[in-house]
Amino acid sequence: MGSPLYRLWMATVEDAPSAVALVDASSGRSWKRSVLAREAQDWAAGYRDAFPSHGRERILMSEQNGVDWFRAFLGILCAGATPVPVDPSEPEAAQAEAARAVGASLVWRSGRLHEVGGAVRRVGRGRGECLVKLTSGTSGSPRGLPATFAQMVADGRQVCASMGIGPGDANLATIPLGYSYGLGNLVLPLLLQGTRVVCASSILPHAVAADARRHGATVLPTVPPVLRALASSGLGKGSLGRVRLVISAGSVLDPAVAQGFLGRFGLHIHGFYGTSETGGIAYDRTGEATLEGRSVGTPLKGVRLSVGRRGAFRVSSRAVLGTGRFAPADRARMNGHGELVLLGRTGRIVKVAGRRVDLAQVESALRSVPGVRDALAAAVGGADPVLAAAAVTDQPPAEIRRMLRLRLASWKIPGRIVALAEFPVTARGKPDLARINQVLMAPRAATSISTLSAARQMSARR
- pLDDT, tens digit, for every residue of 197-211? 999 999 999 999 999
Per-residue pLDDT at 135: 82
Residue 3: closest CA among 34, 39, 31, 40: 40
pLDDT tens, position by position, 294-308: 999 999 999 999 999
Q: Please, which residues have CB within 8 angstroms of residue 174's CB and are 6 or more apart in sequence?
A: 200, 203, 208, 220, 221, 222, 223, 226
pLDDT single digits (tens) 249-267: 987 788 989 999 999 999 9
Mean pLDDT across 370-383: 86
Q: Give the model's confidence band at 16: pLDDT under 50 very low, under 70 low, under 90 confident, else very high.
A: very high
The pLDDT of residue 395 is 92
| Backbone φ, ψ for residue 146 (5° rounding) | -65, 135
CA distances from 374 to 183, 389, 415, 416, 420 (A): 37, 11, 18, 16, 10
Does residue 448 have a pLDDT over 60?
no
Question: For residue 239, which amino acid is it?
Answer: S
Which of 160-164, 224-228, 419-423, 454-458 reaches the highest mean pLDDT?
A: 160-164
User: Average pLDDT for residues 239-245, to the nearest whole number?
Assistant: 98
Task: Identify the residue with better confidence: 69 or 135.
Answer: 69
Pairing verdict, β 245-248 and 269-275: parallel
Read off the pTM: 0.80
pLDDT of 124 reads 64
pLDDT at 426: 57
Q: Which of 156, 78, 154, 62 is nearest to 110 (CA)?
A: 62
pLDDT of residue 63: 95
| Amino acid 360: pLDDT | 78
Domains of the chain and CATH, by start? 4-149 (3.40.50.980), 200-347 (3.40.50.12780), 351-461 (3.30.300.30)
Residue 430: predicted pLDDT:
57
Q: At what angle do helices 67-78 and 33-50 cross, to 10 degrees?
A: 60
Average pLDDT, the chain: 89
What are the residue ranges of helices labelled H in 239-381? 255-265, 288-292, 359-367
What amino acid is encoded at 83 in this protein? P
Please tell me the predicted confidence (pLDDT) of residue 262.
Answer: 98
Longest dimension (CA), the chain: 73
Is the pLDDT reported for residue 342 higher than 80?
yes
CB atoms inside a 10 Å sphere around CB 300: 27
- pLDDT at residue 269 above 60? yes
With bands split at pLDDT 50, 70 and 90, how would you rate the model's confidence at 397? very high
Q: How far apart are CA 153 and CA 9, in angstroms?
A: 11
What does the alpha-carbon distance between residue 178 and residue 223 come to, in Å, rounded to a whole number?
A: 15
Instruction: Please tell me the predicted confidence (pLDDT) of residue 176.
Output: 93
Please report which confidence band the pLDDT of residue 437 belongs to, taking 50, 70 and 90 as the band edges.
Answer: confident
Residue 55 has pLDDT above 80, yes or no: no
CB 184 within 8 A of CB 159: yes
| Pick from 95, 15, 14, 103: nearest CA to 58 | 103
Rounded alpha-carbon distances, angstroms, from residue 10 to 35, 36, 382: 12, 10, 46
Q: Is the pLDDT confidence value at 383 over 80? A: no
pLDDT for 451: 35
Which of the four pLDDT bands, split at 50, 70 and 90, describes residue 459? very low
Percent of the chain past pLDDT 70, that is, above it, reads 90
Residue 373: its pLDDT value, please? 83
277-289 pLDDT tens trace: 999 999 999 999 9
Q: What is the identity of the amino acid at 343?
A: L
Q: Are 102 and 127 in contact (CB under 8 A)?
A: no
Sheet with 416-420, strands from edge to edge, namely 372-380, 386-393, 416-420
